[in-house]
């Protein structure tokens, strides 16, 4: 609980919190991790409204840190005491709150910490996207819901380390109240029905967004958070829900700006508010927004699940080379990987251990496409427990020699 004198003290920070995107641009700046990459708050002549010039967002997702996907992180899931459980919700319900809290607190510190951030820097990465669940705000969790407690303390410490190192930080409401998709552990639960698309849960999500935005603008550790995503991967295509666009997005946008008005955050320092782009298939996200200032758009590009793409090496390279992922406004390819369809992933032709040349080339083709058509990219994910199969792990792909340690050496195969 903040005391009023602390509130006065931290109000000073409010005007220096920022909504910038990386703006300067030379590879030298990337390599040095200098403030030239991301201008320091309040620095003369920097305008946080700038979108990146020639420099690009190059980042990784922190998957399975605050929200697990058990299939991709099975040994860590087991080490967290959750083997056999479908999701955080199931694990906490079945193992008991206190045991789960102890186990999850150990997981957070062990799974991704300062050592990882240093490694990311050594690979020239400049951005992290952090998937978060609504249960981080513990007062939102009702008595029928079960989630680990204590996550905010580690998040705060962690974003402090990331800010110290100059990372651009995107926070993402990845697990929405009620679950935005069925049977998807990325929501933090394994729900039989979606419960998100109604006023009760929209309002809980908005309460969460107001809470985290206030924290971002009043807590020094969060000074490098430039973007907040309203909800990750809502229902799409045949299942798309109109109230997401006509109720949730406009109300969430207004609520965030009201918090910023109240904190007197100056106009250049407001957060970018991100929504899934229209390529996701939930419709035009800004259809019902009166104001679209500092909006940004998230594209998830997984060839693995796009059945319209012919499954061959040549087709993957040529499709990536001509891939235009820009839409709606400033866009980021916020999730993508080197994963291929289930029915071919274990075949010789697509084997990660013998087809490094192909995967290396395809990585470069995707980087080329996303950097040409958007502000840049965030790979899914930083680390996994899939062993030698590096197709979902940036860290493992670098270790396998498929991704170069120095991204500035990458050349386009297109
Ligand atoms: C990060 O976690 C790993 C794995 O538990 C550990 O080996 C390493 O020492 C930790 N790094 C720091 C800085 O605590
Ligand atoms: C903003 O400030 C006004 C005036 O102090 C207050 O009435 C209102 O509840 C605040 N809104 C939010 C969302 O904090």
Residues of the chain falling short of pLDDT 70: 1-54
pLDDT at site 52: 53
Q: Is 185 exposed, middle or buried (0-12, 13-18, 19+ CB in 10 A)?
A: buried
- Which pLDDT tens digit goes with each residue over 67-120? 999 999 999 999 999 999 999 999 999 999 999 999 999 999 999 999 999 999
DSSP state of 294: T
Protein residue whose Cα sits closest to atom 5 of ligand 2: 262
By DSSP bridging, strand 295-301 and strand 168-175 are unpaired
Do the Cβ atoms of 59 and 367 come closer than 8 Å? no
pLDDT at site 54: 52
Nearest to 126 by CA among 62, 56, 177: 56
pLDDT at site 60: 98
Pocket test for ligand 1, best of 80, 110, 162 (most atoms within 8 A of CB): 110
Each residue of 352-376: b (16+ CB within 10 Å) or e? Answer: beebeebbbbbbbbbbbbbbbbbbb
**pTM score, whole prediction:** 0.90
Q: CB atoms < 10 A from the CB of 323, how many?
A: 22
Protein residue whose Cα sits closest to atom 11 of ligand 1: 115
Q: Output the CA 109–ligand 1 centroid distance in Å.
A: 7
All domains of the chain in start order, with CATH: 4-409 (3.20.20.80)
Catalytic residue chosen out of the listed positions 76, 88, 221, 233:
233
Q: Output the CA 263–ligand 2 centroid distance in Å.
A: 9
* 114 catalytic residue (yes or no): no
Distances (CA, A) of 211 to 134, 140, 208: 10, 11, 5
Which atom of ligand 2 lies at the shortest distance from residue 214's CA? 14
Q: Output the CA 117–ligand 2 centroid distance in Å.
A: 37
Protein residue whose Cα sits closest to atom 5 of ligand 1: 110
pLDDT at site 267: 83
pLDDT at site 166: 84
Calculate the CA dihedral of residues 182, 346, 371, 267 and round it to 10 degrees.
Answer: 20
pLDDT at site 349: 98
Q: CB atoms < 10 A from the CB of 405, how many?
A: 12
DSSP state of 329: B
Distance CA 32, CA 268 (A): 26
List, in sequence order, every residue forming a beta bridge with 273; answer none if it has no partner: 228, 295
Q: What is the phi/psi pair of residue 256, to 5°? A: -65, -45
pLDDT at site 409: 87
Q: How many CA atoms lie within 13 A of 13 on its CB side?
A: 17
Which atom of ligand 2 lies at the shortest distance from residue 210's CA? 13
Q: CB atoms < 10 A from the CB of 218, how many?
A: 21
Q: Is 105 exposed, middle or buried (0-12, 13-18, 19+ CB in 10 A)?
A: middle
Which long-range contacts does 88-95 make (Cβ < 8 Å, 24+ apart)?
Answer: 88/133, 88/135, 88/146, 88/147, 88/148, 88/175, 88/185, 88/188, 88/189, 89/145, 89/146, 89/147, 89/188, 89/189, 89/190, 90/146, 90/189, 90/190, 92/146, 92/147, 92/148, 93/146
pLDDT at site 222: 92
pLDDT at site 395: 98
As for ligand 2, residues whose beta carbon falls within 6 Å of it are 210, 258-259, 262
């Amino acid at each position: 609980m903040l005391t009023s004198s602390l509130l006065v003290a931290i109000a000073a920070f409010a005007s220096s919190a920022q909504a910038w995107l990386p703006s300067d641009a030379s590879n030298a700046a990337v390599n040095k991790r200098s403030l030239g990459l991301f201008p320091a708050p309040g620095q003369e002549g920097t305008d946080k409204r700038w979108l990146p010039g020639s420099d690009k967002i190059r980042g990784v997702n922190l998957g399975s840190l605050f929200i697990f996907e058990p299939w991709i992180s099975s040994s860590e899931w087991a080490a967290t005491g959750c083997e056999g459980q479908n999701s955080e919700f199931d694990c906490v319900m079945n193992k008991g709150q206190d045991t789960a809290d102890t186990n999850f607190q150990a997981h957070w510190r062990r799974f991704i910490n300062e050592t990882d951030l240093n490694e990311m820097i050594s690979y020239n990465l400049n951005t992290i996207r952090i998937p978060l669940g609504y249960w981080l705000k513990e007062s939102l969790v009702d008595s029928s819901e079960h989630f680990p407690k204590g996550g905010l303390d580690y998040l705060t410490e962690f974003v402090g380390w990331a800010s110290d190192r100059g990372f651009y930080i995107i926070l993402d409401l990845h697990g929405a109240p009620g679950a935005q998709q069925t049977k998807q552990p990325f929501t933090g639960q394994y729900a039989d029905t979606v419960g998100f698309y109604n006023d009760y849960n929209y309002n809980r999500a908005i309460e969460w967004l107001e809470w985290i935005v206030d924290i971002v603008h009043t807590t020094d550790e969060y000074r490098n958070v430039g973007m907040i995503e309203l909800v990750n991967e809502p229902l799409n295509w045949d299942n798309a829900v109109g109230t997401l666009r006509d109720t949730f997005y406009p109300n969430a946008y207004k609520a965030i700006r009201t918090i910023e008005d109240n904190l007197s955050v100056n106009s250049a320092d407001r957060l970018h508010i991100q929504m899934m782009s229209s390529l996701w298939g939930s419709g035009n996200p800004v259809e019902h927004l009166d104001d679209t200032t500092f909006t940004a758009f998230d594209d998830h590009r997984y060839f693995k699940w796009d059945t319209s793409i012919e499954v061959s090496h040549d087709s993957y390279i040529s499709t990536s080379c001509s891939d235009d992922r820009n839409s709606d406004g400033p866009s980021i390819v916020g999730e993508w990987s080197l994963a291929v369809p289930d029915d071919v992933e274990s075949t010789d032709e697509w084997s990660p251990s013998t087809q490094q040349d192909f995967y290396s080339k395809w990585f470069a083709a995707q980087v080329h496409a996303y950097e040409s058509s958007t502000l840049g990219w965030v790979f899914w994910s930083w680390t996994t427990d899939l062993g030698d199969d590096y197709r979902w792990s940036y860290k493992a792909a670098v270790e396998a020699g498929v991704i170069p340690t120095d991204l500035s050496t990458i050349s386009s195969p297109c």
